[in-house]
Amino acid sequence: MSGLCDTTLIREQPASPAASLTDDEWLLRGMLRCLACQRPMIPARWVDQDGTRVYSCGPACPQRDLVAAEIEDHLFLGALIRDAMVATRCSDADPPVSPDELDRWRATDAYNRRAVLETAFAWVEITATGQARPEWQHDLRQPSVAAQTPR
């Protein structure tokens, strides 16, 4: 995979406010954060290759571009697994499924990939090695361990 420094990129324009997110081909727009430079990763395309969709944080960052289809599919699969655990009220779910999470998943259109990703993740951090570290919505809504400790 080519890095940002040795290929030409065209930065994709943000979706217009009137455009529906369901029509946006960039499923993770606004959700990816680079840990190397602390900036959001934005949609771009490789021009001198085949127009591959990528997420990039810019030429000043050592982080390699992420091929959009690969990272989107990886995170979408994780989201679908959590959705299945919620739908079946799996007893092995970690953390356990809360009533709030069950309501959020029930309200989500399972055919809308962007909606599924937003229901699953608050944001996704990308490490210097290109690994995704998602911040799950259900983790943000869990009561803290300190709050559960009796005094």
Asked if residue 94 belongs to a domain, the reply is yes
Which residues form the domain of 125?
4-138
Task: Work out whether strand 132-136 and strand 121-126 pair parallel, antiparallel, or are unpaired.
Answer: antiparallel
What is the mean pLDDT for each group of 10 consecutive residues in the chain (151 residues)? Answer: 41 45 78 95 82 89 92 95 86 80 90 93 94 90 46 33
Asked if residue 151 belongs to a domain, the reply is no
Asked if residue 147 belongs to a domain, the reply is no
Report field, pTM of the whole predicted structure over 0.95:
no
Alpha-helical segments (H) within the chain: 68-87, 99-106, 113-120, 137-140, 145-148
Q: Could you report how far apart the first and last alpha carbons of the chain are, in Å?
A: 54
What are 64's two structure tokens? 């390699």
- pLDDT computed for residue 48 by the predictor: 67
- pLDDT computed for residue 18 by the predictor: 40
Asked if residue 145 belongs to a domain, the reply is no
Contact (CB, 8 A) for 68 and 112: no
